[in-house]
A and B are shown apart, each in its own frame.
Chain A
Amino acid sequence: MTMQTEAQAVSVPRKRRGTELSLIVVALLVGVGAYVSVGLGYTGDIPADITAVAGAFAALAFVAHLAVRFLAPYADPVLLPLVVLLNGIGLAMIYRLDLDITDPRLGDGVARQQVVWTFVGVLAIVAVLAVVRDHRRLQSYTYTLGLVALGLLVLPLLPGIGNEINGARIWISVGPLSFQPGEVAKLCLVVFFAGYLVVKRDALALAGRRFIGIDLPRGRDLGPILAAWLLSLGVLVFQRDLGSSLLFFGLFVVLLYVATERVGWAIVGILLFLGGAYFGYLTFGHVQNRVAGWLDPFSDTDLYFQIVQGQYGLAFGGLIGTGLGQGDPTLTPYSYSDFIVTSLGEELGLAGLMALIVIYALIVERGLRVALLCRDAFGKLIATGLAVTFALQVFVVVGGVTRLIPLTGLTTPFLSYGGSSLVANWAMVGLLLRISHATRQPQPLATPLHAEDATQVVRLR
């Protein structure tokens, strides 16, 4: 009897919302601490607007926590604190850079703008949690979301609202607001790819010809991957956005590989990528620039000023950094967006930057764990896609600024200045939390009616 009881003791996921709240409090302490130490390091005083900024940020984090507590009570307890911490550090760093930057395009109170965007981001996570009550419902919107993604990608090319900044045509401007629709397209594409592959994966996994131990796919199944490839090339050609192009194609290839479990697809994907990259290299001057700046930036320090400055910044920071507010990260152009990683590396040092990268790794790990535990294939693919999106972005950005790979412009999730990226990433975390909730919540007990010998008798007398 005892044996049987022990065998029946099962592990049930806990809600752990209290743990989440205490982690959020620690994350807020780190974020606000960063903000204060920027002020102390830069001027020697605590920033005047500390109560307003810290209060607003803490309130937003608390709202996000409440949304999770009531709308997805079984969701992963670590994801939200990790995101809050990244957002908080990003906020402090942007405030710090704003003290030095005299870029008229940025205007005043960049940090305050980022708080406003954080507010919109929290609205997005609440909206995602409130609207998407069951992620499986999204499957019926597969092609709708695919079309929406395509539309969002085309939007910046339209004359009138499309806007070209720094050579990349990825912005739309409506009145005073400018937005990067590609960021939102990311989310739609993840759902679209997942919904598409979950239906088609059996057909795509059919063995084609076998060549040195690898199942190569059939020629007629190449359609989807070619379409994704052309889409990415289109982004590259028409928007001149290397990073997004890489992200979209990488995302599709990873999901295709995960869905079909065929190495052949990954190989085809890599070959297509190499072909596309070579084509881009031959065709576009700015791609050649990026590659040359990757291989030997010191050959022309004027042309590759940004990447050289980034390197010097990281070197200046050393192991433990110059301290917040005490470096010169703004010598690097775009130190608040594309190069925020080197800014952080300069002021927090290798030790701080590694902590941030570990935090990203934990986010990706949590996402993949959701995918592992998820019971339906669609949810698995979405969770994988979201985790891979974060991973690819961080890899492309950090690899780019540290010269592991050629520099491509992508935003660093939650850290970079920029509303579209922040809002889209918050929404992505919302979707991840929704799937996580569905995965971890106790299942309705399926009574094994036919397993007669497993019946347990409780003695009442």
Chain B
Amino acid sequence: MSELTLTLIRLGFLVVLWLFVLSAVSVIRSDMFGARVDPAKQRPGRAAKQPRPPKPAKQPKPRRGDRHAPRSLVVTDGPNEGQSAALADAPILIGRGTDAAIRLDDDYVSTRHARVATNGEQWFVEDLGSTNGTYLGHQRVTAPTPIGAGTAIRIGKTVLELRR
């Protein structure tokens, strides 16, 4: 092994060592900001959840007294404003499908979107695995949730309310 070769090996090793350090530093630099993504394009699954009524939901009408049980479910905003269904003991299906008790012409509503049912004392709203979710007031409904007096149910662009 000649002296020259050894010197070259020695210098080469130091160069490679520093190249490693520099490449580690360059990875750190490129790691500083992460990948820039547009959440709307990048994550269709999540973006789909975003659409919600463009306008703030109308404030619920003044309460009419909690003493009386609600008698009907009324669409107060959205394409089908004014539509209603009488509350009986049977659950009410809300959706775009033909079998829904309240049929909505709303692009953001799933075929079988939500269900309003009672246990005899209170009325509950339950999301049926819809794409865009069901909101009670500002809360997304994940489990059957009792509907408080005067609270709006929001489905897509549509707002529904329990009326006496």
- Contact across chains for A13 and B38 when beta carbons are under 8 A apart: no
Which residues of A sit under 8 angstroms from B59, Cβ to Cβ? none
Is B10 engaged at the interface, CB distance under 8 Å to the other chain? yes
- Contact across chains for A8 and B52 when beta carbons are under 8 A apart: no
Q: In the bound complex, how far is the Cα of B23 from the Cα of A33, in angstroms?
A: 17
Measured CB to CB, the closest approach of chain A to B29, in angstroms, equals 11
Is A12 engaged at the interface, CB distance under 8 Å to the other chain? yes
- Contact across chains for B54 and A8 when beta carbons are under 8 A apart: no
Measured CB to CB, the closest approach of chain A to B130, in angstroms, equals 15
Known: A40-B6, A323-B7, A460-B107. Is A30-B20 also a contact (CB below 8 A)? yes
Is B40 engaged at the interface, CB distance under 8 Å to the other chain? yes
- Contact across chains for B31 and A77 when beta carbons are under 8 A apart: yes
Is B143 engaged at the interface, CB distance under 8 Å to the other chain? no
Q: Which residue of B lies closest to A455 (CB)?
A: B52
Interface flags, B59-79, vs A, CB<8A=1, else 0: 000000000000000000000
Q: In the bound complex, how far is the Cα of B6 from the Cα of A46, in angstroms?
A: 13
- Contact across chains for A449 and B33 when beta carbons are under 8 A apart: no
Q: Which residue of B lies closest to A320 (CB)?
A: B14
Which residues of B sit under 8 angstroms from A450, Cβ to Cβ? 138
Q: Which of B1-43 contact A (CB under 8 A)?
A: 1, 5-7, 9-11, 13-14, 16-21, 23-25, 27-28, 31, 33-40
Measured CB to CB, the closest approach of chain B to A258, in angstroms, equals 22
- Contact across chains for B27 and A78 when beta carbons are under 8 A apart: yes
Q: Which residue of B lies closest to A8 (CB)?
A: B39
Known: A5-B38, A9-B36. Is A458-B51 also a contact (CB below 8 A)? yes
Tell which of B11, B16, B54 touches A455, judged by Cβ atoms closer than 8 Å. B54
Q: Which residue of B lies closest to A347 (CB)?
A: B10
Measured CB to CB, the closest approach of chain B to A266, in angstroms, equals 28
Known: A44-B1, A78-B24, A323-B10. Is A12-B37 also a contact (CB below 8 A)? yes
Which residues of B sit under 8 angstroms from A445, Cβ to Cβ? 46
Question: Using a Cβ–Cβ cut-off of 8 Å, how many residues does chain B contribute to the interface with A?
Answer: 44
Is B50 engaged at the interface, CB distance under 8 Å to the other chain? yes
Q: Which of B73-124 contact A (CB under 8 A)?
A: 107
Known: A23-B23, A26-B23, A447-B140. Is A458-B9 also a contact (CB below 8 A)? no
**Which of A50-58, A181-189, A306-314, A348-356 forms contacts with chain B?**
A348-356
Which residues of B sit under 8 angstroms from A268, Cβ to Cβ? none
Which residues of B sit under 8 angstroms from A37, Cβ to Cβ? 9-10, 13
> Residues on A close to B: CB < 8 A?
5, 8-14, 16, 19, 23, 26-27, 29-30, 33-34, 37, 40-41, 44, 76-78, 81-82, 85, 320-324, 326, 348-349, 351-352, 355, 358-359, 362, 365-366, 445, 447, 449-450, 452, 455-458, 460-461
Known: A81-B20, A352-B17, A447-B140. 19 other contacts (CB 8 A): A8-B40, A11-B33, A14-B34, A14-B35, A30-B13, A37-B9, A37-B13, A76-B31, A78-B28, A78-B31, A81-B24, A321-B14, A323-B9, A323-B10, A352-B13, A355-B20, A359-B24, A362-B25, A362-B28
Q: What are 27 A-B pairs at a CB distance below 8 A?
A: A8-B40, A10-B36, A11-B33, A13-B35, A14-B31, A19-B27, A34-B13, A37-B10, A40-B6, A40-B9, A44-B1, A78-B28, A320-B10, A320-B11, A320-B14, A323-B6, A323-B7, A326-B10, A351-B18, A352-B13, A352-B14, A352-B17, A455-B51, A455-B53, A457-B54, A460-B107, A461-B107
> Residues on B close to A: CB < 8 A?
1, 5-7, 9-11, 13-14, 16-21, 23-25, 27-28, 31, 33-40, 46-54, 56, 107, 135, 138-140
Closest 5 CB pairs of A and B: A323-B10, A11-B34, A44-B1, A13-B34, A449-B138
